[in-house]
Amino acid sequence: MNNKIKEDDLKELPNYIRWIEILIKWIIGIVIIIIWSLIGFFFWIPILLRACLIYSVVLFASVVGTADINRAMRSLSLAIRFYPRGFVLIKSSIFGYSLDDEIPESSRPFTLTSFFHIIFESIFATFVWVVSLNFLNLINVDILKYLEQFSLFIRESLLAFTQSN
């Protein structure tokens, strides 16, 4: 006897269960959209800033010399679409809509390299926001003190790691 639930069995559910499912999807979707609105924006502005700076340097190099600007154009395009793409992926995953052709579904597994990329982006975004808010005098942070403490922490961690091996 096969106990698996078939797709046709789910279509025969009473209407009130379908409405509960829809309600739960909407609640989860709204919560995730609020979280992405904050976290995505936190990362998006520094990513845009970096992409614009790199694009400007490569553009200058291509005007003056023979540098290829195609990779910088692609990076700038990806940076521009980073934040809106998050909302498209949320809509797709929560409500089951198909993705556009321009947004390929990622089949790469989450690796240690991905983890370090996230750590780097987090440190970079935090640094950009702290410097920006400090520059605008919205916060008063001694950045050099924190950079010194961070470099001391890295040095001690590397020293401890090399001594343990």
Q: What is the pLDDT of residues 12-68, one digit of tens each?
A: 667 778 888 888 988 999 999 999 999 999 999 999 999 999 999 999 988 888 878
- Model pLDDT, residue 1: 46
Distance CA 122, CA 101 (A): 29
H helices of the chain, in order, are: 7-11, 15-64, 70-95, 112-135, 143-164
- Model pLDDT, residue 48: 94
Total residue length of the chain? 165
Report which of 44, 69, 42 is spatially closest to residue 54, judged by C-alpha positions. 69
**pLDDT greater than 60 at residue 143:** yes
Over residues 4-12, mean pLDDT: 58
Report which of 56, 37, 39, 57 is spatially closest to residue 121, judged by C-alpha positions. 39
- pLDDT tens digits, residue range 55-110? 999 999 888 888 788 888 999 999 999 999 999 888 888 877 665 544 454 556 66
Residue 66 in tokens: 């023979």
- Model pLDDT, residue 101: 47
